[in-house]
Structure 1
């Protein structure tokens, strides 16, 4: 009996390793090498929602981490899952202090794929700018804003200097995350744009 990808997605009895055989990126060395057991990812707490997924606060190896998952209604779409895996592969290859640190990838089945990254406790730049506005903080240039702009410029310089140039394609304040000390790091390298 031949099983198609749609049959695999709808058949919970099919083991997760078997279900990945027909999907190129699932067998990719960079993906497999960074795989983390789902049992090691503990906790709850939605942090944010984006255009294609949700980010949750979790614990991994007793450290705070963020996990990103596709929206439930997208998790059974093989094309979207593969695009998400391509983002994971790209994130795993990046290493720069101004880019959110990749920790690993985890799945038990096609429908619960998630990527783990460092948790950025300062939130996103958009929320920070809104807080400053609400507090009637003076507009214009200050030391923190210059530092944030410099961090973003460093991340972009790194991405554009790679042997295969990476273009972010969605640079906006929501995709700049901050530490508690207001160090800025780029995130969201998804090609999942429609």
Structure 2
């Protein structure tokens, strides 16, 4: 009986044919198996390659997603709600037309002049470089002149025109509006007067009264100008203190968070006026008022008073390492009677009242107390500085009001009295 067999190709063969064709069939089987294995291996390699590509794609996608989220968080205002709706602070941005229109309509509460940008070009001579007074983080400041023919009802006046540097960021808009709101509503002899503003397209400009002697920083530390006499330094300290006290004790207290010599401007008679309210904010009302103002304002005043006393900047990298930070270097010496005069500005050449220096030094010492609650209130500082505005012989007759651990005394105590 002949058995029929079917090979892997489906061909029917007999046993005899199998014997005759066995070598060929085996060879074909081997070739087929090798071909099949190569195909399987090729498929496996393809799928592994595809798997690796997918893995690389996922990794790249995750990295890009993380970067996108990070950039989005940086560009979004911190106080913007998660729903995407503008918060209360967002609605105050001057880029919002309704807010600008409110400023223009409410002229009774905010009597500022809304200038056009074209008018400002006329005022500054098209922002000529020889009219440039200086610059800062906000932008450039130009000297200008308002003339009668600029607009009906305007009186001739020298002004300083502060032009926003074009940074249309949230923070830039917020600082611009803060100055308009605070200086538009507050009026005091020791606050720089805001005349008007310009909010036209992307332009953000502030127009102030012109302060002919510039900032205390430029005047005090100038290598060209004559050193400020002691009496002028105390006049500056007194005026700045009155401006700061006014802000702290206003019906709606203001925390002036940028008190420094560069933000104290001087008119022709060296009257000090506070400027740059971009970082100012409404202070608390009630029992917490004094705590906040002591922290934010009184310490800064102490630093400025120390600069006036020593003629040194609060931070000066050009000095020896131990003397670069003014407060760290000077505070230990303020209560030392024998060492105090060694830190007084040498450019004064000893032309100052000894007792007046001692009293100013002790006042600075209390303002710089590490315990905020032990610092004096600004109204007490004003009272302490008032006697220092008089001639030396009169100063020696009047005690200076100081505050020790938050309690006002009519005279200096302890080591202070022995100075």
Report deviation, 1:64: 1.2
TM superposition shift of 1:126: 0.6
Please give the TM-score of this superposition, normalised by the length of structure 2: 0.37
Determine which structure has the larger strand proportion and give its number.
1
Residue 259 of structure 2 is aligned to residue 171 of structure 1:
yes
Unaligned runs of 5+ in 1: 1-19
RCO greater where, 1 or 2, for CA within 8 Å and sep 6 or more? Answer: 1
- Is structure 2 residue 198 aligned with structure 1 residue 124? no
Contact 2:160 2:209 in 1 (8 A): yes
TM-score between both structures, scaled by the size of structure 1: 0.75
Match for residue 269 of structure 2 among 153, 173, 181 = 181
Report the 3-state secondary structure (helix = DSSP H, G, I; strand = E; otherwise coil) of the residue aligned with 1:28. helix
Gap regions ≥5 residues in structure 2: 1-93, 148-155, 281-419
Q: How does 1:1-194 map to 2 (within 5 A)?
A: 22-29=96-103, 33=107, 34=112, 35-41=114-120, 42-43=123-124, 44=127, 45-61=131-147, 62-72=156-166, 74=167, 76-109=168-201, 111-131=202-222, 137=227, 142-191=230-279
**Matched-pair contact (CA < 8 Å) for 1:105–1:115:** yes
In structure 1, what is the Cα distance between the partners aligned to 2:226 and 2:267? 22
Greater C-alpha radius of gyration: 2
| Bigger helix share | 2
**Whole-Å Cα distance in 2 between the matches of residues 38 and 32 of structure 1?**
21
- Partners in 1 of 2:141 and 2:162 — Cα distance? 4
Q: Deviations over 1:1-48 (max 9, x none)?
A: xxxxxxxxxxxxxxxxxxx78455323236863212334332132211
CA RMSD between the two structures: 2.5
Instruction: Kindly tell me the number of residue pairs found equivalent between the two proteins.
Output: 167
Call closer, same or farther: CA 1:108–1:50 in 2, change over 3 Å.
same
Q: Distance in 2 between matches of 1:32 and 1:38?
A: 21
Q: Distance in 1 between matches of 2:246 and 2:274?
A: 11
